[in-house]
Chains A and B, each alone.
Chain A
């Protein structure tokens, strides 16, 4: 049982990382970025190439991948979001779906059809605690998610830049009236979200193997996780992700492994039906 919890938490932390990236953009520009799974894939491939082809140490590959995706995030928002920013949000969502398809196929063209593998930061051997095996990569994932939670809380609430970004997320017009350069804040939001995706991708690479399709199901489940946690809520995204990871693995172990994927979405449906604002969501109020 403990083994299940450990691994479920780790998987949940990945969902949480990806969900964070989705929520941050959704808050800022009211758009769900359906390409988040593919951004993750891109980060993983960059790190894989750095490690396997250029023989860089794994930590360096992680860091450089995150930086590369930061630049990519800027380009992404410039091409896929900025020209459409006045259009209805459904148009922008479709644009992100388009980017997701584009990325999947360009990845296949650049890196070929064969999946790649490179080991986690601490190697491949599990740490045995009595009977229980703990994969050091899982510990790393949990650790980084925890640090990120604290960092985000500090950054968005205590720093000037963070508060400007929050203001933009709450009300773009008012923020602009306050002298905040809204387009720059939006750019930062996309950059931050892409860096989160890269982080998730590199951490996940040894578990999921790096392939063009690694992001698809993950992006969907992370989206479900963010809704379960309360769409728009940052602690909600993290707790929703962890919750989903644990529920999934427990259902797979004790109910039926045949329907493991179904459980994630059954939980989503239950939450939407019984508690539509999610675990931490704000009351839905309409602006008059």
Chain B
């Protein structure tokens, strides 16, 4: 009896090890290439998570339809990062266990920072959608697929002080990593360009009443407001700026220009300036126009920059692997990314050189009844 049990155990282990050997990871030279994505599928920011997930899925499906990367199919593994740091960490770890070649993270800088230590330890190429300038400090495995806030802050400050000619600037911002870092760079650039910051007001992301903040801004004599917000707070600021009779010109961060925010803000959004990655619907490029048509056909809604960015990110990974001649281990992918010196995405240009600062362009657009109209495009080298 004992012998038989022993035999069963040995046989069983042999079978398991054969199966395990067959299920090897994406760093193999055959089998599917796995790309992970942690994105908000539940929680407060699902309205953005949906677009990030949609853009990535569309890219993966199109790559597979065209034959995959170097003949290998791409598998997209999406995990829910909800809207909290712990959930993000869980999602990232779950995706890691599937051994992907790269992971796309959502657009929340705070949550990106939460997994930085893991990314560094695992040496996992991670594309971060957050725009905070601090994201790349010390994180050698982070690569941007959305432009840094340094670029956005610089463009907004210059637009306010020089283009609009308003020297007295009020800065309103969220209290999270994104908002605070944004405020720091805005203050620096407004002063650099010759303006003065006369008011600095902040709010939490669940705050829906900015009467106090706007009253203080009014009292300060500000001539323009630069607002660093997310979907709900952007809508609230745009509405109350008009409702309270303040009516100051407003330059907002990217969230001010998404279709979701426009629906919430309604007419209050008209005339507001937005600094955003790019307005894909405005790009006079057949590639972009075709892309918008495909997106609308597939998802039955207007795309926005998060979807475009995630789509570009997947193709950037594809480009990196091709640059590395099909190698998918992490060092090769990193070298492959650094070899990207001028990739034209759907609505942005990417150049990595020797760090993760890939996207090189932001635009300042003004929201009109029929959508955002680009006023200026700002590029860095």
Contact = CB atoms under 8 A, between A and B. Distances in A.
A284 interface: no
A260 B260 contact: no
A212 B287 CA distance: 37
A257 B231 contact: no
Given A117-B266, A253-B212, A135 B243 contact: yes
Contacts of B175: 258
Interface in A176-234: 207-209, 211, 213, 216-217
Interface string A81-110: 000000000000000000000000100100
Interface string A64-96: 000000000000000000000000000000000
A7 B204 contact: no
B206 A113 contact: no
Given A113-B47, A113-B50, A115-B232, A126 B213 contact: no
A113 B204 contact: no
A115 B230 CA distance: 13
A139 interface: no
A261 interface: yes
Given A113-B49, A253-B212, A133 B235 contact: no
B205 to A, nearest CB: 10
B22 interface: no
A249 interface: yes
A249 B201 contact: no
Interface in B203-231: 203-204, 206-209, 211-213, 215-216, 231
Contacts of B264: 115, 117, 209
A128 B245 contact: yes
Contacts of A216: 206
A252 interface: yes
Contacts of B28: none
B212 A124 contact: no
The residue among A4, A213, A260 with the most chain B CB atoms within 10 A of its own CB is A260
Contacts of B215: 3-4, 253
B263 A249 contact: no
A11 interface: yes
B323 interface: no
Given A133-B243, A253-B216, A4 B211 contact: yes
A208 B206 CA distance: 9
A253 B244 CA distance: 15
Interface centre among A8, A105, A252 (most CB of B within 10 A): A252
A4 B203 CA distance: 16
Interface in A112-147: 113-117, 119, 124-126, 128, 131, 133, 135
A57 to B, nearest CB: 18
Interface string A9-49: 00100000000000000000000000000000000000000
Contacts, number: 88
A4 B212 contact: yes
B44 interface: yes
B202 interface: yes
Contacts of B209: 7, 11, 207, 249
B198 to A, nearest CB: 15
| Chain A interface SS verdict (over half) | helix
A42 B354 CA distance: 51
A226 B211 CA distance: 24
Count chain A CB atoms within 10 A of each CB in B42, B211, B235, B266 and give the residue with the most: B211
Contacts of A257: 201-203, 212-213, 216
A260 B212 contact: yes
A277 to B, nearest CB: 29
Contacts of B201: 257
Contacts of A249: 209, 211-212
Contacts of A208: 208
Contacts of B260: 114-115
Contact of A133 (B206, B216, B245): B245
A250 B211 CA distance: 10
Interface string B153-193: 00000000000000000000001000000000000000000
Given A108-B42, A257-B202, A7 B245 contact: no
B64 interface: no
B211 to A, nearest CB: 4
Nearest to B208: A208
Interface in B251-283: 260, 263-264, 266-268
Interface string B306-324: 0000000000000000000
B46 interface: yes
**Centre residue among B42, B216, B244, B267 by max chain A CB count within 10 A:** B244
A117 B263 CA distance: 7
Contacts of A258: 175, 202
Given A3-B211, A114-B47, A124-B243, A260 B204 contact: yes
A166 to B, nearest CB: 35
Contacts of B46: 108, 113
7 contacts: A4-B211, A11-B209, A113-B49, A211-B232, A217-B206, A253-B213, A260-B207
Given A8-B211, A208-B208, 17 more contacts: A7-B211, A105-B42, A113-B46, A113-B47, A113-B50, A114-B47, A115-B232, A117-B266, A124-B239, A133-B245, A249-B211, A253-B212, A257-B202, A257-B203, A257-B212, A257-B216, A260-B212
